[in-house]
Structure 1
Amino acid sequence: MSLEQLDAFLAEARQRQPLAARLAEPLELVDFLDLARGAGYAVEEADVIAAQQRQESRLSDAELQRRAGQEARRLRHFINA
């Protein structure tokens, strides 16, 4: 697992307009990984998941509760009761 590779890729992408433009678009995970690998970074799915977990661990309790509420509302509208 290489969070360092993912972090380095994202840092480079902020500096390179073509990469930044691609990352500004919604991407499927496989497309994101292909983009990172095409730029020369060894990034795997596990790295992306670890980065998401790292980001969420930095959130406040209030932010986590807000997100949980949003998800619950989304599911409530998705599931027909």
Structure 2
Amino acid sequence: MSLDQLDAFLARARADADLQQRLNQPLELAAFLALAAEQGYQLSESDVIAAQQRQESELSDEELQHRTASEACRLRHFIPS
């Protein structure tokens, strides 16, 4: 279980149209992990969280602010008034 496994899974998805199509659908974390396992990749929730943290650490302050604003907007539409 490592970021290397997750990176390898995502690289395979970029090369496999069927897998890419399956990943383009909204997935719960458990379904994502099950799909990875079907493909022979043993991933955990902590791997996904570590990958998100790695990605966020590579963003500029402006990109982080934009992402935060987008997520806040999405939540405002999701949460009923």
What stretches of structure 1 move > 6 A for 4+ residues in a row?
none
Partner of 1:9: 9
The letter for the 2-side match of 1:63 is E
- How much has 1:68 moved relative to structure 2? 2.5
Partner of 2:47: 47
Query: Between Structure 1 and Structure 2, whose CA radius of gyration is higher?
Result: 1
Could you tell me the TM-score, scaled by structure 2's length? 0.84
* 20 and 79 in structure 1: CA distance in 2 versus 1, 3 angstrom threshold: closer
Structure 2 regions of 5+ residues with no counterpart? none
C-alpha distance in 2, partners of 1:26/1:75? 16
Could you tell me the TM-score, scaled by structure 1's length? 0.84
CA RMSD, Structure 1 to Structure 2 (Å) = 1.8
Identical-pair percentage: 62
- How much has 1:79 moved relative to structure 2? 7.2
Structure 1 regions of 5+ residues with no counterpart? none
* 23 and 76 in structure 1: CA distance in 2 versus 1, 3 angstrom threshold: closer
Q: How many pairs are equivalent?
A: 80
Partner of 2:27: 27
- How much has 1:69 moved relative to structure 2? 2.8
C-alpha distance in 1, partners of 2:55/2:67? 13
